[in-house]
C-alpha cells in the first residue's frame, strides 16, 4: 500500500524558517525519516510539497487512485482552504492531519482548521515526530 505525505506552503524552508517554532530539521530530513518508518510498516510513500494550493488539490485527486491513505500538513492552507477540504472529502481512505507546532498554543487564527472537518486524526505540537506518529496511525487504520 502507498500513502501520500503532502506538505503545504513554506515547508520547503524548514530548517531555516523560524527554527524556534519549527525546529532545525529540513523537509528532506523528515522525508528520509518517513521513508524509513513507512518501510518498517510495509508502506510505500510519495512525499510532496507545494507552495500552490491547486497543486495540493491535484495531489489529493491523484491519491484517489494511487494512495490508500494520506498524511497532510497543509501549513497555512489549513486555516483558509475550503478547496483542500473538498478535495479530501472526495478521497475515501484515512487522512491524518499533522502540524509541527502546537497550533492551539499560537495565534487565534491558527486554532481553526478546515482540514480537520475531514481528518480522521490530528497531531499537533510533536515536531517532526508527528509525521511518524501519523504513519503509525495510518498503518493501524489500514490493517
Summarize the annotated binding site for substrate as residue ranges.
73, 79, 86, 100-101, 110
Q: Which of 29, 33, 23 is nearest to 134 (CA)?
A: 33
User: Is there binding between residue 110 and ligand DQA (CB under 6 A)?
Assistant: yes
Report the first-to-last Cα separation within the chain, whole angstroms: 10
With contact defined as beta carbons under 8 Å apart, do 70 and 63 qualify? Answer: yes
With a CB cutoff of 8 Å and minimum separation 6, the contacts of 114 are 78, 79, 80, 81, 82, 84, 85
Beta-sheet pairing, 95-99 with 121-124: parallel
Please, which residue, 7 or 139, has the CB nearer to ligand DQA?
Answer: 7
* From 31-39, 44-52, 58-66, 74-82, span contacting ligand DQA (CB under 6 A): 74-82
User: Is there binding between residue 118 and ligand DQA (CB under 6 A)?
Assistant: no
User: Is there binding between residue 49 and ligand DQA (CB under 6 A)?
Assistant: no
Using CB under 6 A, pick the residue from 78, 81, 128, 139 that binds ligand DQA. Answer: 78
Active site residue 112: no
Catalytically active residues are: 22, 99
| Binding footprint of ligand DQA on the chain (CB under 6 A) | 10, 73, 75-76, 78, 99-101, 103, 110
Amino acid at each position: 500500500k502507498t500513502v501520500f505525505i503532502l506538505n503545504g506552503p513554506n515547508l520547503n524552508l524548514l530548517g531555516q524558517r523560524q527554527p524556534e517554532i519549527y525546529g532545525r530539521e529540513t523537509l528532506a530530513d523528515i522525508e528520509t525519516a518517513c521513508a524509513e518508518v513507512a518501510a518498517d510498516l510495509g508502506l510505500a510513500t510519495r512525499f510532496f510539497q507545494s507552495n500552490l494550493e491547486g497543486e495540493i488539490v491535484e495531489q489529493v485527486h491523484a491519491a484517489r487512485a494511487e494512495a490508500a491513505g494520506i498524511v497532510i500538513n497543509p501549513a497555512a492552507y489549513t486555516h483558509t482552504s475550503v478547496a483542500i477540504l473538498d478535495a479530501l472529502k472526495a478521497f475515501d481512505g484515512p487522512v491524518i492531519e499533522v502540524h509541527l507546532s502546537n497550533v492551539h498554543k499560537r495565534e487565534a487564527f491558527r486554532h481553526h482548521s478546515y482540514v480537520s472537518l475531514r481528518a480522521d486524526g490530528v497531531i499537533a505540537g510533536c515536531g517532526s515526530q508527528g509525521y511518524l506518529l501519523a504513519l503509525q496511525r495510518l498503518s493501524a487504520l489500514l490493517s
